[in-house]
Amino acid sequence: MRVVVVGHGMVGSRVAEELVTADPTAEVTVLGKEPVPAYNRVLLSSVVAGSKDPSLLSVAGPAHPRLRVLTGVGAVDVDRTARVVHDDAGETHPYDALVLATGSAARVPAIQGVALDTGLVPGVFVLKDMADATGIVEATRSARRAVVLGAGVLGIEVATGLAARGLAVRVVHLGERLMERQLGWEASQVAVASLERMGITTHVGSSVVGVTTRRGRLDGVRFGDGLEAAADLFVMCTGTVPDTMLARRAGLTCDRGVVVEDDLRSPDDPAVFAVGDCAQPPGGATGLVAQGWEQARRVVLRLARADAVDPAASTTDVVRVKASGMSMVSMGLSGDFDRDDPRHRVLSLKDPERGRFVEVVVSGGMLVGATCLGDAEVGATLSALYTRSMPVPEDPALLMVRALSGGGPGVVSRAPADLEDGDRVCTCNSVTAGTIRAALADGCRTAADVSARTRASTGCGDCRTTVEALVAHAADGHQQDIEHDPDLVRSES
């Protein structure tokens, strides 16, 4: 079977690599218009934040004899009757199945002065590909003041990344809340305060309508209310537009993206699939790579085994912001939803002083949504529970604090003198404090005597100091100072 994949991004590369493994007859050709092999676009914001080694970005797997990857080659046309793809190098690629994974482009808002015929004004960026990321990093070497337009997930990641590089950052957001798809009002307020603490100024309900330049370089932005701010770096993070050009030209139904059925096929042509950012499945696209990878898995299953039962989409919509020093995660019902819906039980905990906000939404005994800012442990536990549809406690408030979210302190500490006779001192050999005291009463004088008699501390040796303290206590006949005793032992509470 010949399969052509158009687009060598995070999802297209996954389809191609998994397909040659899953189907021993598959001969796969991938056309990638960028000059480099597939890389991890999700991590571009981390490149801006200064943490990424570029080698880490590569997601292209090892070479495979039945996998042909053409980089720097774009598809220009699909002849669905002849089942061939024409590329911009003049080559023709026949297919039995075509997978469109053309991704999306950054949306460039209509802002006066940002664009020249040759591209964006120097100092103005979007963040969609490697060149954008390296351009921004280059610009930060001389820039001191940055403005980020759009406080969605990417905007927040870029803003915190630039702040971590020492730039003064303003975030301008048209909506009234930051990350409005993920955060409700209260969460947004906590996030604003957290950003302030990181030196990031936020302007909500505002927009940038123009930029000013000096000697051809950006030197300021103008807000919708007429105010201006000096800026030598302006990054527009205002969403993406699915790349449907090839599909439209091929006569495939497109709406916002390439329209596909539940099985990811185009309704117009069963030989054509679309996955990732360019696709518009019945439930809508989330823009998250998890959804694209899940789609890749399903397309591979479908192509490798004609009789495959299409598994239900099991994609997760957990959104975890990659902002160093700021833990933010949301899932399911979050952002703007009907908090008064009687089917939902909504609990929240707001602690702006500590930059903490936790909201959980429970319905039918399941966690159906959550937002967590400023508590990494609780956020991680909520994601794990939500992802696997685990049951939630009768009182969902228990989910909101760390002490009960697993791995917390399960032990109490006691000074040796306070140990009850029944408390185990030596776990390895099941020796209790009472047994040791009896040995001391029966003539043992040293810790070595006690060990020889009772086997205490002859296993891992961890309780040796406690045994010594008990010996000393028996010898002194008085209680040790609990406050200053370093030899605390632990027993199950």
Partner 1 sequence: MTLSPDRATVGPRDGGPTATHCPYCALQCAQQLVRAEGPVPVEVQARDFPTNRGGMCQKGWSAAEVLTAPDRLTTPLVRRDGELVPATWDEALDLVHARLEGIRDEHGPEAVAVFGGGGLTNEKAYTLGKLARVVLRTPYIDYNGRFCMSSAAAAANRTLGVDRGLAFPVTDLGGAEAVLLVGSNPAETMPPLVQHLAGARSHGGLVVVDPRRSATARLTEHGAGTHLAPVPGSDLVVLLALTHVLVDEALVDADYLAERTTGWEDVLATVSRWWPERAEAVCGVPADTLRRTARRLAAAAPVHGGGGAFVLTGRGMEQSAHGTDTVSAAITLALALGLPGRRGSGYGPLTGQGNGQGGREHGLKSDQLPGYRLIADPAAREHVAGVWGVDPGSLPGPGVPAVELLARLGTEGGPRALLVHGANVVVSAPNVGRVREALGRLDLLVVSDVVPSETARMADVVLPVAQWAEEEGTMTNLEGRVVRRRRATDPPGDARDELWVLSELARRFGHDLSADAREVFDELARASAGGKADYSGITYDRLDAGEALYWPCPADRPAGTPRMFEHGFATADGRARLVAVDHRDPADDVTGDRPLFLTTGRVLHHYQSGAQTRRVAELVDAAPEPFAELSPLLADTLGVAEGDLVRVVSARGALELRARVTSAIRPDTVFVPFHWAGALSANLLTSDATDPVSGMPEFKVCAVSVERVAARNARPVLEEVHA
Interacting residues with partner 1 (CB under 8 A): 39-40, 42-43, 46, 51-53, 55-62, 290, 316, 318, 320-322, 324, 327, 329, 376-377, 379-381, 383-385, 387-395, 398-399, 403-411, 427-430, 455, 458-462, 490, 492
Measured from the CB atom, the residue of 132 and 157 that comes closer to partner 1 is: 157
**Distant-in-sequence, close-in-space partners of 103: CB < 8 Å, separation ≥ 6:** 7, 9, 11, 12, 242, 243, 276, 277, 278
Least distance CB 290 / partner 1 (angstroms): 8
At 177, which amino acid appears? R
Measured from the CB atom, the residue of 39 and 95 that comes closer to partner 1 is: 39
Q: How many CA atoms lie within 13 Å of 291's alpha carbon, on the beta-carbon side?
A: 22
Least distance CB 373 / partner 1 (angstroms): 13
C-alpha 19/C-alpha 2 separation (Å) is 11
**Distant-in-sequence, close-in-space partners of 26: CB < 8 Å, separation ≥ 6:** 1, 3, 19, 20, 66, 303, 304
DSSP string over 339-392: TT-TT-EEEEEEEGGGTEEEEEEEETTEEEEEEEES-HHHHHHHHHHHHTT-B-
- Helix crossing, 433-441 with 447-454: angle to 10°? 110
Measured from the CB atom, the residue of 184 and 379 that comes closer to partner 1 is: 379
Measured from the CB atom, the residue of 345 and 455 that comes closer to partner 1 is: 455
Measured from the CB atom, the residue of 54 and 251 that comes closer to partner 1 is: 54
Measured from the CB atom, the residue of 213 and 491 that comes closer to partner 1 is: 491
- Answer left, alpha or beta for residue 24, where phi above 0 means left and psi between -120 and 50 means alpha: alpha
C-alpha 151/C-alpha 159 separation (Å) is 9
Least distance CB 183 / partner 1 (angstroms): 17
Helix, coil or strand: residue 474: helix
**Residue 198 neighbours by CB distance under 10 Å:** 16
Least distance CB 237 / partner 1 (angstroms): 17
Measured from the CB atom, the residue of 87 and 129 that comes closer to partner 1 is: 129
Least distance CB 293 / partner 1 (angstroms): 8
Least distance CB 115 / partner 1 (angstroms): 32
Least distance CB 109 / partner 1 (angstroms): 27
Measured from the CB atom, the residue of 280 and 405 that comes closer to partner 1 is: 405
Contact 365, 213 (CB under 8 A): no
**Which of 105, 100, 128, 106 is CA-nearest to residue 41?**
128
Helix, coil or strand: residue 187: helix
Least distance CB 40 / partner 1 (angstroms): 5
